[in-house]
């Protein structure tokens, strides 16, 4: 699409001497950006049709020379960048100002690649989600880092709410990931300040976590499923997670025979938890295996496996699972499959709740709380960094407990 370069007088900004500033307007892809060229003249000295200072002004030659110089500079830059996808009117104006601003999407790709290379695969994918939303919201890939301001963020938030149908918590998480991107851009001296510092994020909404009762867990255990079928395996994984303090599905997939320690007195599971956040250190979990968990392990002949063999046949071992991005893709695929299986299993057990792999963790926490396990012990079992995190985690179950206790109180 053609780019236009025009000069005009901003008469609404006339000073006490009756002079108005001359602005250059660059329009590209129907989007315009303006910039004062540092010259002001009276309206009678400006030729609107020719976009030049009239001869009536004493310095008309010098002023018109500056206008020609800026026109040529802008035009040359457009010709130089005509094959680039990321060029914008704002970009050209920034060139005229004396600096070339960084394109948001170019930097976003660099930042996402940087995250992936450092092993933060999940965060890289999550950041890519918000970057893609911004592209759809903005309409093209010409956005500059320094164009993102409070007004832009307000529009983006409204877009995510109305068009993407995102809940407040999802919007908040997306903007928090965007905040990390801008913090890195700030460290890279590409922006002076982080625009999200002055933007009010949506308040975190209280989420009601789904948790199964022990009876529902037992109903799943009692299902007559065909041995070695996909549903049979998925049930084993879900129950093993429940009986091991809600081990996360990514950690469960990576368990190997070397993670099982057998002594005369007991069998223990010891594994290094995957980092869920880039700023936290990995934690070791050491859990005594209950009879229910041991029974599941025996279904997979765990004692006959080599140390490097996986305990459960979940991951595709033909792939290079040492590559974080390869592992993450396989994990996401297998998790989605397991969640579909759990939906079928829930139906067979007459469970109305939406059951996913993560519900095993919720169910363990809620059951432990109901049985009177201390907050400290639950926190340690879930491997939370502090008790406050555990309190917040259990908070969504409190209403259910209050409802039950109120019924018992008056009945």
DSSP helix/strand/coil, 38:
strand
* Domain range annotation of the chain: 3-97, 104-188, 214-410
Residues 6+ apart with CB under 8 A from 243: 290, 292, 293, 296
DSSP state of 258: G
Rounded to whole angstroms, the Cα distance separating 306 from 259 reads 11
pLDDT in tens, 205-220: 766 678 888 999 999 9
Which pLDDT score is estimated for 117?
Answer: 75
323 against 405, higher pLDDT: 323
pLDDT tens profile 118-131: 777 778 888 999 99
Distinct helix (H) and strand (E) counts, the chain: 15, 8
- pLDDT at residue 342 in the model: 93
Confidence of residue 365 (pLDDT cuts 50, 70, 90): confident
Domain 214-410 has CATH 1.10.443.10: yes
* More confidently predicted of 192 and 262: 262
* Inter-axis angle of helices 230-242 and 214-221, nearest 10: 150
User: How many angstroms separate the CA atoms of 154 and 175, rounded?
Assistant: 11
pLDDT band at 146 (very low <50, low <70, confident <90, very high): confident
Structure tokens at 325: 């991005």
pTM above 0.75, yes or no: no
**Is 285 strand, coil or helix?**
strand
Q: Mind listing the pLDDT tens digit for each residue in 220-258?
A: 999 999 999 999 999 999 999 999 988 989 999 999 999
Alpha carbon separation from 154 to 77, 132, 147, 166, 200 (Å, rounded): 32, 17, 13, 14, 9
In this predicted structure, the answer to whether residue 168 has a pLDDT above a threshold of 80 is yes
Mean pLDDT of the chain: 85
Instruction: Identify the CA nearest to 238 among candidates 102, 143, 344.
Output: 344
Q: Could you give the 3-state DSSP secondary structure of residue 351?
A: coil
Q: Which has the closest alpha carbon to 22: 58, 56, 70, 55?
A: 70
Residue 59 pLDDT level (bands cut at 50, 70, 90): very high
Asked whether 9 and 43 are in contact (CB, 8 A), the reply is: yes
Q: How confident is the model at residue 82 (pLDDT cuts 50, 70, 90)?
A: low
Q: Per-residue confidence at 85, pLDDT binned at 50, 70, 90?
A: low
Name the percent of the chain lying above pLDDT 70: 87
- CB 304 within 8 Å of CB 315: no
How far apart are the C-alpha atoms of 352 and 346, rounded to whole Å? 7
Is residue 278's pLDDT more than 50? no
Tokens matching residue 274: 């995957």
Reference 122, options 272, 248, 244; nearest CA is 248
* Alpha carbons 97 and 102: distance in angstroms, whole number: 14
Structure tokens at 69: 């110089």
- Roughly what angle, to the nearest 10 degrees, separates helices 214-221 and 359-370? 130
């Amino acid at each position: 699409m053609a780019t236009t370069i025009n000069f005009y007088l901003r008469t609404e900004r006339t000073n006490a001497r009756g002079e108005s500033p001359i602005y250059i307007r660059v329009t590209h892809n129907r989007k315009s950006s303006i910039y004062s060229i540092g010259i002001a003249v009276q309206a009678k000295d400006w030729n609107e049709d020719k976009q030049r200072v009239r001869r009536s002004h004493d310095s008309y030659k010098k002023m018109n020379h500056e206008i020609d110089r800026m026109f040529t500079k802008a035009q040359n830059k457009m010709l130089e960048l005509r094959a680039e996808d990321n060029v914008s009117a704002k970009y050209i104006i920034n060139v005229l100002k004396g600096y070339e601003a960084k394109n948001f999407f170019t930097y976003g790709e660099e930042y996402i690649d940087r995250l992936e290379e450092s092993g933060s695969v999940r965060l890289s994918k999550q950041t890519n989600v918000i970057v893609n939303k911004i592209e759809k919201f903005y309409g093209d890939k010409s956005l500059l880092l320094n164009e993102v301001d409070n007004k832009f963020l307000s529009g983006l938030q409204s877009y995510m709410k109305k068009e993407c149908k995102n809940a407040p918590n999802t919007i908040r998480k997306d903007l928090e990931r965007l905040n990390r991107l801008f913090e890195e851009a700030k460290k890279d001296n590409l922006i002076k300040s982080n625009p999200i510092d002055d933007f009010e994020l949506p308040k975190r909404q209280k989420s009601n976590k789904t948790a199964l009762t022990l009876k529902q867990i037992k109903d799943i255990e009692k299902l007559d499923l065909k041995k070695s079928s996909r549903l049979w395996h998925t049930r084993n994984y879900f129950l093993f997670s429940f009986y091991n303090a809600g081990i996360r599905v990514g950690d469960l997939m990576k368990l190997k025979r070397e993670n099982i320690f057998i002594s005369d007195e007991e069998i223990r599971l010891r594994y290094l938890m995957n980092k869920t956040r880039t700023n936290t250190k990995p934690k070791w979990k050491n859990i005594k295996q209950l009879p229910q968990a041991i029974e599941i392990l025996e279904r997979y002949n765990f004692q006959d496996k080599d140390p490097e063999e996986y305990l459960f046949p979940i991951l595709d071992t033909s792939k290079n699972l040492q590559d974080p991005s390869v592992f993450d893709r396989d994990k996401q695929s297998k998790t989605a499959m397991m969640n579909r299986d759990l939906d079928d299993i829930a139906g067979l057990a007459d469970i109305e709740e939406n059951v996913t792999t993560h519900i095993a963790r919720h169910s363990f926490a809620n059951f432990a709380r109901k049985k009177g396990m201390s907050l400290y012990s639950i926190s340690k079992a879930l491997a939370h960094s502090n008790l406050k995190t555990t309190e917040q985690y259990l908070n969504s179950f409190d209403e259910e407990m209050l409802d039950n206790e109120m019924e018992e109180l008056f009945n």
